[in-house]
A and B are shown apart, each in its own frame.
Chain A
Amino acid sequence: NAGVMQNPRHLVRRRGQEARLRCSPMKGHSHVYWYRQLPEEGLKFMVYLQKENIIDESGMPKERFSAEFPKEGPSILRIQQVVRGDSAAYFCASSPNAAGGTDTQYFGPGTRLTVL
Chain B
Amino acid sequence: ILNVEQSPQSLHVQEGDSTNFTCSFPSSNFYALHWYRWETAKSPEALFVMTLNGDEKKKGRISATLNTKEGYSYLYIKGSQPEDSATYLCALPGGSYIPTFGRGTSLIVHP
**Contacts from A to B (Cβ < 8 Å):** 4, 33, 35, 41-45, 48, 55-56, 58-59, 91, 93, 98-102, 104-110
Q: Are B44 and A107 in contact (CB under 8 A)?
A: yes
Interface majority SS (helix, strand, loop, mixed), chain B:
mixed
CB distance from B13 to the nearest CB of A (A): 22
Q: Are A56 and B96 in contact (CB under 8 A)?
A: yes
Q: Is B51 an interface residue (CB 8 A)?
A: yes
**Contacts from B to A (Cβ < 8 Å):** 31-32, 34, 42-46, 49, 51, 89, 91, 93-104
Checking A42, A48, A108, A109 against B101 with a beta-carbon cut-off of 8 angstroms, the contacting residue is A42
Q: Are A102 and B49 in contact (CB under 8 A)?
A: yes
Q: Are B43 and A48 in contact (CB under 8 A)?
A: no
Nearest A residue (CB) for B41: A109
Checking B32, B43, B100 against A102 with a beta-carbon cut-off of 8 angstroms, the contacting residue is B32
Interface majority SS (helix, strand, loop, mixed), chain A:
loop
Nearest B residue (CB) for A44: B101
Q: Are B46 and A105 in contact (CB under 8 A)?
A: yes
Can you report 27 A-B residue pairs in the complex whose CB atoms are below 8 A from each other? Answer: A33-B98, A35-B101, A42-B89, A42-B104, A43-B44, A45-B100, A48-B96, A48-B98, A55-B96, A58-B96, A58-B98, A91-B43, A99-B93, A99-B99, A100-B31, A100-B94, A100-B96, A100-B97, A100-B99, A101-B32, A101-B93, A102-B32, A102-B51, A105-B46, A106-B46, A107-B44, A109-B43
